[in-house]
Amino acid sequence: MALMRFLQTPGLRGALCYTGTRTLSSGTLHIKDPLNFWCGGRVNLKDVKTKSEPVYEPATGRVLCQLQACGAADVDAAIGSASAAFKVWSKLAGMERARVMLEAARLIEKRREEIAEIEVVNNGKSITEARLDVDSARLCIEYFAGQATTLSGNSMVFKPSPVTPVTAVLLAEIYSQAGAPEGLFNVVQGGQETGSLLCHHPSVAKVSFTGSVPTGKKIMEMASRGVKPVTLELGGKSPLIIFEDSDLENAVRGALMANFLSQGQVCSNGTRVFVQSSILPQFLKEVLKRTKAIQIGDPLLDETRMGALVSKPHLDKVLGYVKQAKNEGARVLCGGEPFTPADPKLKDGYYMTPCVLDNCTDDMTCVREEIFGPVMSVLSFDTEDEVLRRANDSALGLAAGVFTKDVKRAHRVIENLQAGSCFINNYNITPVEVPFGGYKASGIGRENGQVTIEFYSQLKTVVVEMGDVDSLF
Ligand SMILES: NC(=O)C1=CN([C@@H]2O[C@H](COP(=O)(O)OP(=O)(O)OC[C@H]3O[C@@H](n4cnc5c(N)ncnc54)[C@H](O)[C@@H]3O)[C@@H](O)[C@H]2O)C=CC1
């Protein structure tokens, strides 16, 4: 099930006025507990053959813990634990399952600040956004708890990214405390080898993957060998179209929300911003003013709006994209440089200034490829037909947005955009009730909303004869 899908507007308002007590500060957390979880508890790997890899705190560049990848025996144990739990969980009455889920949601709410802080330490995003992520997780569990009486149950083995392994284990603990059967939600850590062990395992009935398109293709190939269904939530290069009749203030706000949340590391971001040429100068002026004012720094501080990128290699990759954009003729209007916050403990963190690129053309690398960083590419257009053609000229189709006051045009444009999640006069609004997922190479299947259940269930047809068999023979 989709565990965390971002952004509820009411949540945003709630998070902005938080007044609780901070328990952590950047540079202080050390993770010692094991990060694998099956059979109802954290597991220390016994038969360790692989070298451990450091996990970093993006805000400071400091090592947070060492990560040991699960091998075949560990993956086997975790899947065995899930198989045992399935037998118990799927036999529980819907109301009993709903009760466990609602208790898990309550525990998440109770530990909101602690979970959000640990997520910030591991991920680098601002605490304001992390609180919203925790709220999203809670809302998702509450929503599906409401549906539990009409559903059968699955158990799950989850492998987080090796860059951000920490908070998934908290969720596993919470399910356990909430009364879930041992093994309902298990966590195995590791990179591509552990991932491929999961995909190939004969007891895994369904593979759900969130990540990049190239990895998604490999996952699909591996799953195909076992004829397993896949859900793929992959990358995007989504268009955001701003017409001259739009409310400029809201269009500018939308463009910033579409590009700079989570340091630009959001799959659905509208990174190709098409602006009608008549309003381009005004639009750029406003966007620049606000982008330059974004407060970058310690992600655990409430006033910070942009934290650190998730890893040093990723920061270098994003900065490389900006350099390439310049070489290909784009103009850097602001940002795109490494940034060192004033606080000395943050000097080795992975920060950069948010970047706005102008003079972009459709063939440039920054316009064609997903950057997954705080880089907005602005393109100018003249007519509706032209912008539709250009917006759809992409192998990806995750999301799309349009700003206009003309409601007919808004619907006409959205109808013709090849994207799974579309927004009119806003962007990146994804409540749990609404399905989320991509067209084209952006993925297969949907997360959230009732329809998701179909992607995680088998249909069984049972024919019962109450009379005699009508035989031709
Ligand atoms: N559509 C959606 O809902 C979302 C999509 N994404 C996409 O995710 C990407 C960024 O995430 P990354 O973690 O950098 O992606 P990634 O594709 O590099 O890695 C994702 C996961 O796949 C695992 N993996 C890598 N190679 C594998 C292999 N050969 N076999 C099995 N597992 C393997 C990694 O360990 C990691 O856990 C972006 O493209 C972004 O758009 C991110 C968030 C949401």
Q: From start to end of 292-420, where are the E strands?
A: 331-334, 355-358, 375-381, 396-397, 399-403
150 in the same domain as 243:
no
262 in the same domain as 162:
no
Q: Model confidence over 132-191: pLDDT tens digits?
A: 999 999 999 999 999 999 888 999 999 999 999 999 999 999 999 999 999 999 999 999
Q: From start to end of 250-374, where are the E strands?
A: 272-276, 331-334, 355-358
pLDDT at 3: 34
* Residue 21 banded pLDDT, cuts 50, 70, 90: low
Last residue of a domain, one of 205, 227, 257: 205
248 in the same domain as 101:
no
* Residue 11 banded pLDDT, cuts 50, 70, 90: very low
Specify if 457 maps to a domain: no
The answer to whether residue 100 scores a pLDDT higher than 70 is yes
Q: Model confidence over 29-58: pLDDT tens digits?
A: 999 999 999 999 999 997 677 789 999 999
Under 8 Å between Cβ of 174 and 198: no
Sign of CA dihedral 238, 262, 140, 191: positive
Dist. CA 394 → ligand 1 center (Å): 20
Query: In Å, how far from its chain's centre is CA 33?
Result: 25
Dist. CA 231 → ligand 1 center (Å): 13
The CATH number covering residue 275 comes to 3.40.309.10
pLDDT at 151: 87
Q: Model confidence over 299-327: pLDDT tens digits?
A: 999 999 999 999 999 999 999 999 999 99
199 in the same domain as 274:
no
Computed over every residue of the chain, the mean pLDDT equals 95
Q: Is 324 in the pocket of ligand 1 (CB under 6 A)?
A: no
Active site residues: 233
243 in the same domain as 175:
no
The CATH number covering residue 154 comes to 3.40.605.10
Q: Model confidence over 427-457: pLDDT tens digits?
A: 999 999 999 999 999 999 999 999 999 999 9
263 in the same domain as 130:
no
Q: Is 215 in the pocket of ligand 1 (CB under 6 A)?
A: yes
Question: Of the given ranges (146-150, 291-295, 364-368), which has the lowest mean pLDDT?
Answer: 146-150
Specify if 266 maps to a domain: yes
pLDDT at 13: 39
The answer to whether residue 262 scores a pLDDT higher than 70 is yes
187 in the same domain as 145:
yes
Residue with CA at minimum distance from ligand 1 atom 29: 192
Q: Is 192 in the pocket of ligand 1 (CB under 6 A)?
A: yes
Rounded alpha-carbon distances, angstroms, from residue 109 to 21, 112, 114, 173 = 15, 5, 10, 14
Question: Strand 439-440 relative to strand 62-67: parallel, antiparallel, unpaired?
Answer: unpaired
What proportion of the chain, given as a percentage, has pLDDT over 70? 95
Atom of ligand 1 nearest to the CA of 163: 13
195 in the same domain as 83:
yes
Residue with CA at minimum distance from ligand 1 atom 23: 192
Atom of ligand 1 nearest to the CA of 5: 3
Specify if 174 maps to a domain: yes
277 in the same domain as 169:
no
Q: Is 218 in the pocket of ligand 1 (CB under 6 A)?
A: yes
What pTM did the predictor assign? 0.94
370 in the same domain as 250:
yes
Q: Is 187 in the pocket of ligand 1 (CB under 6 A)?
A: no
pLDDT at 16: 40
Dist. CA 327 → ligand 1 center (Å): 28
Specify if 141 maps to a domain: yes
In the chain, how many domains are there? 2
* Residue 386 banded pLDDT, cuts 50, 70, 90: very high
Domain holding 290, by residue range, is 239-437
Dist. CA 233 → ligand 1 center (Å): 9
In angstroms and rounded to an integer, the radius of gyration of the C-alpha atoms of the chain is 23
Q: Is 162 in the pocket of ligand 1 (CB under 6 A)?
A: yes
Q: Is 164 in the pocket of ligand 1 (CB under 6 A)?
A: no
Residue 301 burial (CB count, 10 A): 18
Dist. CA 446 → ligand 1 center (Å): 16
Q: Is 374 in the pocket of ligand 1 (CB under 6 A)?
A: no
Last residue of a domain, one of 152, 183, 205: 205
Residue with CA at minimum distance from ligand 1 atom 19: 211
Dist. CA 214 → ligand 1 center (Å): 9
Q: What is the ipTM of this complex?
A: 0.96
Residue with CA at minimum distance from ligand 1 atom 44: 267
* Residue 22 banded pLDDT, cuts 50, 70, 90: low
